[in-house]
Structure 1
Amino acid sequence: MKHFFYLAVAGVGIFASCGNGNDTKATATTNDDVILHAWSWSFDTIAANMKDIAEAGYAYVQTSPANTCYIGENGGLALFSQPGDSVTGKWYYYYQPTDWKIGNYLLGDRNQFKAMMDSANKYNVKVIVDVLPNHTAIDHTAVLPALDEAVGGHDKLYHANGFTPIKDYNDRYQCTTGEMGGLPDVNTENPDFQHYYMTYVNDLLSLGVRGFRYDTAKHIGLPSDPLDSLAARNNFWDVATGREEVKGLRLAVPADSLFIYGEVLQDKNVKESEYAEYMDLTASAYGHALRTVLDKADFNADSLLNWHHPVDGKHLVTWVESHDTYANEHESAGLTDEQIRMGWVFLTARQNGTPLF
């Protein structure tokens, strides 16, 4: 992580001084890659800053979703809506797919994406793309005809339960087949959809992408989860990670050479260990604990000594805040810049975990 790592090591003493004073030496290998989350940066902006990203020591840069998306508010590009607007911000729309092709009005087209990838290759920075096969736009009539046709018709695009709002997020059937926040749930088990989606993934890989962040991953069923009536088997994750082919198509790059992680937000009935068989996971509970410590300026306000997670820290992505804790829940919006930076320093210096800045 170059000089950023050394800054972090120097800064971790701020936290360590609040501990019990017992020094222990780490004997295990530390995974020390760092991801820059270029949230809502256009492809052109990322490309223009790639040299600085590389020199700052980031191994990866993560883009916002690159897929075709719903055009909201007459194509406005402001990050957040103005007071009195009826929606929460323009950034929300690239999480509403209308097709799975590279390029959207918020971040840039396919040529701009390719130029960004060329810049990443020049400076030896790997690119992670935020992908979201779980749902489409709230206005599902905006889905493009090519997608409907590819999956066998509009009705085949969604789960039978896909327009039923989730009432209990700890009910695995509701969680993995139901409508989340108005977003209708895609039938990710439809082989025609899987083939169409994997064509998009392989196009990204062909341009040099070397990682994926799976948005709303816990809303896509595991083999052990209940089946939707339109699904023969819950095999999306086997297809997405290259364990299975679908209609002759397979993940173009071996999964073990990619950085793949899922947004599996922790709750009472989340199968973290089973998801971890396919990919790394987000350490959402650890982020909450860290924000508590920062907010109260007290190392003992919550435990930072364990990961609050059943999965080993080497397979967790850590953060002080995510775009959701900031823009959606506003849970982290009250932290000062100094508190946020101190938290990042702590995560960077802490053994294991891959910090997402």
Structure 2
Amino acid sequence: MRSIPRWSATLALLATALLVPGSPVATAAPPPGNDGRSVIVQLFEWKWTDVAAECTNVLGPKGYGGVQISPPQENIVLPSRGYPWWQRYQAISYQLESRSGTRAEFAAMVQACHAAGVKVYADAVINHTAGTWPDGTRGSAGSSFTHYDYPGIYQTQDFHHCGRNGNDDIVNWNDAWEVHHCELVDLADLATGTEYVRNRVAAYLNDLISLGVDGFRVDAAKHMPPGDIAAIKSRLSGDPYLYQEVVYGAGEPVQPSQYRGNGDVIEFRYGQQLSAAFEGGTLASLSSLGNGLEPGESSVVFTDNHDTQRSEAALTYHDGALYTLANVFQLAWPYGTPVVMSSFAFTDKEAGPPSSADGRTNDVSCGSGWVCEHRQTPIANMVGFRNAVGSAPVANWWTNGGNQISFGRGSQGYVAVNREPAALSRTFSTSLPAGTYCDVTRGEVRDGACTGPTVTVGTDGQFTASVPAMGALAIHHLARV
């Protein structure tokens, strides 16, 4: 879940804010994963047993550094709404029982991912509990509750009751007190300024840490004062990685920059600007994507996530090749820590994952209700590209002034993106050493040979190639043949 500011007002500003070509580029974030692996994948609504298998069979071998999992705590169950995806964001207790699986399956999943070299980041719903629903009287572990009474956990004194707007919901987004203390669409707002709530939330997060969880996406962080999150973080064991959901709103008093002292922040504007360039703007405008946003070294970014693919003018898997190309660019561009979305197919924006009639999630089968964007060859292999180029700077930028671009990452890699209906054929200038390289957007190196096209870089750093219409080309120093 996230706050929804007045996007109609901000999108117009963002459309004119695409950055000036030739400006300096923001730096990339330090990798949160292992061995320089910086890319996170969001396996949205996957079962723990499927996450474990994916870490072993796909994520580890492809070089993903981390996996973001759906909220693991007990949540509300809403059969009358068809078990929607968002029921996972209405917490009932801190038992690790949900449609993703049991506590034992969760623990086994973390171990399997660690064995594959993949860190686990849990989506942490700590700002609120549930809303009021006619059939919302039990949780996924069988717990009963009412809106401000969660037996053995929280009672009415543990919630904010802002009393300003009749139903306690946020109305004035220009009032920081309301944003922090009133309810986000009827979700009972925890009094995170109290010692009891801080200790109770920290106990839940420490339980996850004890099972091996490496960090947290802090859901709805914008609706908690930064000091409250800091107080909770101070109670956590070790040094978990935090990235906080703080949606930028033009002119609003609560801004992402206020939360950087607690950890990284999710930079929503990056995905908005990326989508705007690919959908209706020009790729040439991306030459300095990241300038004017939060610092890249403390930002987490995405092309789309579970919220934006349902509520914003964001690119999603529905956009086919355009979406794939945007992800290729995101993984090649040195700004932020990228999160790759892996979703289930939907037409109803409220629909939950593929499941049985009683709401039990089906096993993941890519192509059968599960999209698995992260497995697409261009996306999965660009994870390896990003790992290979590390922090190398952008070099040798070229554009036709429209929707054909190419650029290098120092002497470590080179990428070209063609968002036009005709092939791009030209000689490209790089800083790569001479050699024959595998185009990782269409193949990979196996037994010393490339399963797809290759290009040959001469001693002058140049190569001649054709990039398909609505396609890409990417080479790097670890994919030589």
How high is the TM-score relative to the length of structure 1?
Answer: 0.76
Report matched runs for 1:100-139 at 5 Å: 100-104=94-98, 106-139=99-132
- Matched-pair contact (CA < 8 Å) for 1:239–1:251: no
Q: What's the counterpart of residue 155 of structure 1?
A: 156
Give the aligned length: 301
Q: Could you tell me which residue of structure 2 aligns to residue 350 of structure 1?
A: 333
Q: Equivalent of 1:47, from 32, 38, 52?
A: 52
| Paired residues of 2:25 and 2:291 also in contact (CA < 8 A) | no
Distance 1:25 1:303, change over 3 A: closer
State, as a whole percentage, how many aligned pairs show the same letter.
27
User: Alignment partner of 1:251: what SS?
Assistant: coil
Q: 1:68·1:102 contact (CA, 8 Å) conserved in 2?
A: yes
2-structure distance, mates of 1:26, 1:216: 26
Q: How far apart are the structure 2 equivalents of 1:120 and 1:296?
A: 39
Q: Which residue of 2 aligns with 1:68?
A: 74
Q: Which amino acid aligns with 2:84?
A: K
Deviating beyond 6 angstroms after TM superposition, the runs of 4 or more aligned structure 1 residues are 22-30
- 1:266 maps to 248
What letter is aligned with 1:60? G
2:67–2:121 Cα contact (<8 Å) kept: yes
- Over residues 94-141 of structure 1, what are the superposed CA-to-partner deviations in whole Å (9 max), with x where a residue is unaligned? 10001122221x211101101101111211110000001111111386
Residue 307 of structure 2 aligns to a residue whose secondary structure is helix
Post-superposition CA distance 1:133-168 (Å, at most 9, x none):
1111113865857984555x5212210217501112
Extract unaligned runs of 5+ from structure 1: 1-18, 75-85, 223-234, 243-249
CA gap of 1:145–1:92, structure 2 versus 1, over 3 A, is closer
Residue number among 84, 89, 106 corresponding to 1:90 in the alignment: 84
Cα gap change, 1:333/1:141 in structure 2, threshold over 3 Å: closer, same or farther?
same
Q: Offset of 1:329 from its aligned partner?
A: 4.1
What is the match of residue 252 of structure 1?
237
Residues 1:321 and 2:342 are matched in the alignment: no
Asked if 1:239 is matched to 2:231, the reply is yes
Amino acid at match of 2:267: A
Distance in 2 between residues matched to 1:176 and 1:218, nearest whole Å: 7
Q: 1:36 to 1:170 in 2, by over 3 A?
A: same
Conserved in 1, the CA contact under 8 Å of 2:192 and 2:224?
A: yes
Residue equivalent to 2:349: none
SS at match of 1:164: coil
Q: CA RMSD in A?
A: 2.9
- SS in structure 2 at match of 1:111: helix
Task: Tell me how far 1:307 sits from its aligned partner.
Answer: 4.0
Q: 1:160 to 1:207 in 2, by over 3 A?
A: same
Q: Quick one: distance in 2 between partners of 1:294 and 1:355?
A: 17
Distance 2:306 2:27 in 1: 34
Does residue 288 of structure 2 align to residue 284 of structure 1? no
- 8 Å CA contact 1:212–1:261 kept in 2: the answer is yes
- Mapping for residues 202-221 of structure 1, pairs under 5 Å: 202-221=206-225
Distance in 2, Cα, partners of 1:27 & 1:174: 34
CA contact (8 A) 2:26 2:296 kept: no
- Alignment correspondent of 2:368: none
Write the distance in 2 (CA, Å) between the matches of 1:323 and 1:41: 13
1:280-334: per-residue Cα shift (whole Å, max 9, x none)?
A: 011101110000011126125677533442x310110011111101134464458
The yes-or-no answer on 1:293 pairing with 2:277 is yes
Q: Distance in 2 between matches of 1:355 and 1:38?
A: 14
The 10-residue stretch of structure 1 (280-289 or 184-193) with the greater mean CA deviation from structure 2: 184-193
Q: Which has the larger radius of gyration?
A: 2
> What residue ranges of structure 2 are gaps of 5+ in the alignment?
1-19, 32-36, 341-481
Letter of the 1:251 partner, please give it.
L
